Amino acid sequence: MFDAVDVIRTKRDKGELTDDQIDWVIAAYTRGDVADEQMASLAMAILLNGMDRREIARWTTAMIASGERMDFAKLSRPTADKHSTGGVGDKITLPLAPLVAACGVAVPQLSGRGLGHTGGTLDKLESIPGWRAALSNDELMRQLEDVGAVICAAGDGLAPADKKLYALRDVTGTVEAIPLIASSIMSKKIAEGTGALVLDVKVGTGAFMKELAHARELAETMVALGTDEGVNTVALLTDMSTPLGLTAGHSLEVRESLEVLAGGGPGDVVELTVALATEMLAAAGVTDVDPAEKLRDGSAMDVWRRMIAAQGGDVDAPLPVAPEQQVIKAESSGVLTKLDAMAVGVAAWRLGAGRARKEDPVSDVAGVELHAKPGDQVTEGQPLMTLHTEDTARFDRALEVLASAVEIGSTAPDHRLIIDRITA
């Protein structure tokens, strides 16, 4: 019906793609009739020229139509899911899924791998010996009923068009396109069949959305897409100018998540975990359980252990540790006023935690460990960060990007983790 070059030219020249063009190009790309380089060109045109609401809705529908749709109606409890648009040190899914399950709501958390400077939930969990991301639909349903929480990869049958396009965006500089972010996230979540969805839309230097207005546009777009499909959807706008927690890197973030599940952990990680859990429970109709108490009494940790073991993970095995470490120290005394999230994320990527190509492996142990956050008092010579890697040759490039990441002054900066709440 169409030619890929004509579709590319339409969007390149700032035209609107018709419903038929969108349906065709998504189906043809999924089949392999549209080449990666052609879809990359179209993705870049979309990044530069945008899409209107109709185009985004149709693109999302076409992504859903490329595969199957799941149904959790037979489960004995309501379902709720969460999605983050990606940030540095964002390990919230790890404690959040078992926490919400401990409160009586099933969590079918279909997660992804790292994009650009941000870490992927599946990459983090694969640092646990034996843990596997791939589950059949039957395994997923059984685990949801028995354990109440699943964190796994989307099956090949669920929005397969997105699986191809997701990996392509990571290596072609088109991750930040709002229409592609919104359709990628919502096609999977709608096809997944969850009854309620809470979106954590990041904004700041370490997020894909640097400006609040763009983050708000993305949140509103996704909330509208979900609501129109009958999914109870709400979004929180949260700050990502500073890394979340004290670690960025796969095994490092798992370790920190375990601290949260044990009733400790960094205050910002705990705050956001409890806030998102509260939203998920409310969206699923559960308002009589305090998620903070379920962290304190060990209930969430119990679900975590069952969830990891159900997917082959050895919950008692030690997490891997980097053989090479280097400490960065404060050059003066004062108040830490800036710790740039993007710089920390890129440093972790350069140390081995990220991918240069979609087929690249990642290092389980690479990353950055923080010893202070903005607002903390520091003294000259005090450790600010520890770099972790398997290859000492990687230190120099990580240090380059961190050279301007830190500022020390005299006044603590204002900081608000949760910026706004977006509903239909």
**Annotated catalytic sites, by residue?**
83, 162, 169, 184, 188
CA of 114: how far to CAs of 125, 171, 175, in Å?
A: 12, 11, 11
Cβ-in-10-Å burial (0-12, 13-18, 19+) of 50 comes to: middle
Phi–psi pair at 149, nearest 5 degrees:
-145, 140
What is the C-alpha separation between 134 and 7, in angstroms, rounded? 34
H-only helix segments in 237-392: 250-261, 267-283, 291-296, 299-310, 341-348
What is the C-alpha separation between 98 and 306, in angstroms, rounded? 9
The residue assigned the tokens 């053989």 is 323
Structure tokens at 151: 């964190």
Residues 6+ apart with CB under 8 A from 72: 79, 106, 108, 141, 144, 193, 194, 195
Tell me if 313 sits within 8 A of 131, measured CB to CB: yes
Tell me if 347 sits within 8 A of 398, measured CB to CB: yes
CA nearest 156: which of 33, 67, 72, 35?
A: 67
Phi–psi pair at 294, nearest 5 degrees:
-70, -25
The residue assigned the tokens 């927690």 is 245
What is the C-alpha separation between 63 and 67, in angstroms, rounded? 8
CA nearest 97: which of 149, 135, 146, 147?
A: 149
CA nearest 199: which of 416, 3, 423?
A: 423
